[in-house]
């Protein structure tokens, strides 16, 4: 019997899930394996023993399929099908194909027809003119593949990657290579297309292809290598000696237009020394865009944040209880936290009505007793109904400490009607903050037509703040909108909209977005203490 180890089994199940996903298996099957991998990591029981004694099905989410895989892992230490699937799925070709704009299915057909499984093999076939002989590949497609392959190392992915995933990707690669993350994610760009890592030695360039994130290395010379992920995302790794490391980091961070505007860059070990040599003050990466003015001295920072004003609990679609969220927020050093569960009109998830909110008040009071002097606020993420009224009776709204008003339906309404609806809600005396004002979901749903200038006017009139929602696929307001809001004199709130204790970590994305808009500490309401907040 081979040795069962938890990390190894977890990796095997994760890899299996990723390959099933590539192979077009159903979402639910893929998710089941991902969850099984998670479960093994999280479960305190001896999983191997549960499998041997036939009791593993008692764990939530383990059906007969997963039980079979676990048994194989316990008995043999590996999954035979994983190897077969890898041969069939061809992750290297899939990653390269996505970069070239070809679907995994198409790329695998091409690989089988050409009898190649790697980028090198594909290049050889293309150079030899064999690609034109493949059935279904016309001269136009062949020319497209040839030219995209030639420019692959300078091309970006076809769709920008959201911030959390982008920072994780460059962060993991940088950590593995002993370098620094750079490119768009380091500037906290809402969608990243340029991924870079700067390493202090060329030896690290060789290590790139062994990384689990990289399926193929597109190009490599003495000072630069470009790898591609299975998702078709190219990652550039630049080697720089210590004496010019700062210069290389500044260049690789961009934006290219901003860097170009600095003129010739002197060689220096750190970015700060490059700026100093240019006679400029240091500029944080998130403000390195062309046309952005010098940052203020009191630019808001994560350490200034004293509480989170928009989070969910299990009463709506959150994964943690009120108390668990409170404990986690207190651990972050916060003074307060507003629990803002959904109301009934949101429909797709559980929502609270007046009665539910009053029941929750007891839960919050009990948690507050335990967490004192930390304070959990009674809040709501209250839906804005089509006529602009709020989805809760006035008496219960008046009891609450903090009311987020939110639009979750009707994002496609015309400018006039949508704006009137939102302004009406902002005028409700209980309204404290307008959630995710532009309603966009990055890569999925464009911004709504809401007239921000009119919203700013009414925000000033009513004292309602505007949220900078930190969910990575929202980041709403955007940095650009923050800039406009601040110019109008409006106060913003940096919130996570966390649905789990881990989600509270999204505050850094919200703060970075506010910083991209040039927000000072005083512009952000939740940099204030609870008593100042109550005086608002």
- Cα(78)–Cα(375) distance, integer angstroms: 49
Q: 478 to each of 40, 137, 183, 220, 521, how far by Cα in Å?
A: 38, 43, 19, 37, 17
Q: Which residues of 205-240 are buried (b: 16+ CB within 10 A; e: fewer)?
A: bebbeebebbbbbbebeeebbbbbbbbbbbbbbbbb
Instruction: Between 335 and 381, name the residue whose CB sits nearer to Zn ion.
Output: 381
Instruction: Between 406 and 508, name the residue whose CB sits nearer to Zn ion.
Output: 406
- Three-state secondary-structure class, residue 73: helix
Least distance between Zn ion and beta carbon 9 (Å): 36
Instruction: Between 95 and 307, name the residue whose CB sits nearer to Zn ion.
Output: 307
- Cα(285)–Cα(266) distance, integer angstroms: 18
Residue indicated by tokens 């081979």: 2
Instruction: Between 381 and 523, name the residue whose CB sits nearer to Zn ion.
Output: 381
Instruction: Between 15 and 498, name the residue whose CB sits nearer to Zn ion.
Output: 498
CA neighbor of 145 nearest in space, from 172, 173, 169, 109: 109
Instruction: Between 79 and 315, name the residue whose CB sits nearer to Zn ion.
Output: 315
Least distance between Zn ion and beta carbon 498 (Å): 9
Least distance between Zn ion and beta carbon 310 (Å): 6
Would you list the DSSP string of 327-363?
HHHHHTT-SEEEE--BBGGG-SS--B-HHHHHHHHHH
- Three-state secondary-structure class, residue 473: coil
Q: What angle do CA 490, 493, 497 make, to 5 degrees?
A: 145
Residue indicated by tokens 């009406």: 424
Q: From the CB of residue 255, how many other CB atoms can be counted at a distance below 10 Å? A: 18
Q: Which residues of 112-133 are buried (b: 16+ CB within 10 A; e: fewer)?
A: ebbebbebeebbebbeeebbee
- Three-state secondary-structure class, residue 129: coil
Instruction: Between 289 and 467, name the residue whose CB sits nearer to Zn ion.
Output: 467
CB-nearest residue to Zn ion: 497
Instruction: Between 381 and 473, name the residue whose CB sits nearer to Zn ion.
Output: 381
Least distance between Zn ion and beta carbon 450 (Å): 14
- Cα(382)–Cα(432) distance, integer angstroms: 11
Instruction: Between 473 and 497, name the residue whose CB sits nearer to Zn ion.
Output: 497
Residues β-bridged to residue 219 = 226
Least distance between Zn ion and beta carbon 341 (Å): 8
Least distance between Zn ion and beta carbon 200 (Å): 42
Least distance between Zn ion and beta carbon 412 (Å): 17
Least distance between Zn ion and beta carbon 165 (Å): 20
Residues β-bridged to residue 468 = 494
Residues β-bridged to residue 384 = 390
Region class of 263: left (phi > 0), else alpha (psi between -120 and 50), else beta: left
Instruction: Between 305 and 382, name the residue whose CB sits nearer to Zn ion.
Output: 382
Here the tokens at position 512 are 């970075």
Residue indicated by tokens 């996505």: 98
Least distance between Zn ion and beta carbon 404 (Å): 7
Residues β-bridged to residue 402 = 379
Instruction: Between 194 and 312, name the residue whose CB sits nearer to Zn ion.
Output: 312
Going 502 to 507 to 510 to 513, the CA torsion angle's sign is negative
Least distance between Zn ion and beta carbon 324 (Å): 17
Instruction: Between 14 and 381, name the residue whose CB sits nearer to Zn ion.
Output: 381
In angstroms and rounded to an integer, the radius of gyration of the C-alpha atoms of the chain is: 26
Here the tokens at position 398 are 């008046």
Binding site for Zn ion (CB under 5 A): 381, 406, 497
Q: What angle do CA 335, 339, 343 make, to 5 degrees?
A: 160
């Amino acid at each position: 019997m081979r040795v069962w180890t938890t990390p190894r089994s977890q990796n095997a199940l994760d890899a299996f899930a990723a390959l099933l996903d590539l192979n077009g298996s159903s979402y639910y099957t893929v998710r089941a394996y991902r969850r099984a991998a998670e479960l093994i990591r999280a479960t305190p029981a001896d999983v191997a023993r549960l499998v041997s004694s036939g009791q593993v099905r008692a764990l939530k989410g383990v059906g007969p399929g997963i039980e079979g895989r676990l048994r194989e892992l316990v008995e043999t230490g590996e999954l035979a099908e994983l190897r077969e699937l890898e041969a069939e799925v061809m992750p290297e070709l899939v990653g390269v194909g996505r970069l070239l704009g070809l679907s995994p299915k198409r790329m695998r057909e091409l690989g089988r027809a050409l009898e190649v499984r790697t980028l090198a093999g594909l290049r050889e076939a293309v150079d030899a003119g064999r690609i034109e002989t493949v059935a279904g590949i016309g001269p136009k497609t062949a020319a497209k593949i040839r030219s995209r392959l030639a420019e692959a190392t300078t091309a970006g992915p076809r769709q920008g990657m959201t911030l959390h995933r982008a920072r994780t990707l460059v962060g993991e690669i940088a950590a593995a290579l002993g370098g620094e993350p750079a490119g768009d994610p380091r500037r906290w760009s809402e969608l990243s297309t340029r991924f870079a890592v700067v390493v202090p030695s060329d030896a690290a360039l060789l290590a790139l292809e062994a990384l689990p994130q990289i399926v193929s290395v597109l190009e490599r010379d003495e000072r630069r290598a470009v790898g591609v992920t299975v998702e078709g995302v190219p990652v550039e790794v630049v080697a720089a000696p210590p004496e010019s490391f700062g210069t290389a980091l500044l260049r690789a961070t961009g934006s290219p237009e901003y860097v170009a505007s600095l003129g010739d860059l002197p060689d220096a070990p750190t970015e700060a020394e490059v700026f100093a040599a240019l006679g400029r003050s240091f500029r944080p990466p998130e403000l390195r865009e062309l046309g952005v003015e010098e940052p203020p001295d009191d630019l808001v920072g994560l350490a200034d944040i004293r509480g989170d004003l928009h989070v969910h609990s299990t009463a709506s679609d959150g994964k943690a209880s009120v108390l668990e969220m409170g404990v986690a927020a207190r651990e972050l050093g916060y003074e307060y936290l507003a629990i803002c569960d959904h109301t009934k009109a949101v429909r797709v998830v559980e929502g609270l009505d007046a009665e539910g909110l009053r029941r929750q008040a007891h839960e919050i009071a009990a948690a507050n007793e335990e967490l004192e002097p930390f304070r959990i606020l009674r809040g709501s993420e209250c839906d804005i109904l089509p006529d602009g009224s709020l989805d809760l009776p006035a008496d219960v709204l008046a009891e609450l400490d903090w009311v987020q008003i939110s639009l979750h339906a009707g994002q496609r309404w015309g400018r006039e009607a949508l704006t009137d609806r939102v302004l009406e809600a902002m005028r409700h005396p209980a309204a404290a903050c307008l959630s995710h004002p532009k309603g966009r979901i990055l890569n999925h749903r464009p911004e709504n037509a809401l007239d921000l200038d009119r919203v700013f006017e009414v925000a000033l009139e009513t004292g309602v703040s505007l949220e900078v929602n930190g969910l990575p696929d929202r980041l709403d307001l955007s940095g650009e909108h923050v800039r406009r809001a601040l110019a109008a004199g409006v106060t913003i709130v940096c919130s996570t909209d966390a649905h789990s204790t881990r989600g509270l970590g999204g505050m850094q994305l919200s703060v970075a977005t506010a910083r991209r808009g040039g927000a000072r500490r005083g512009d952000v309401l939740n940099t204030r203490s609870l008593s100042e907040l109550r005086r608002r």
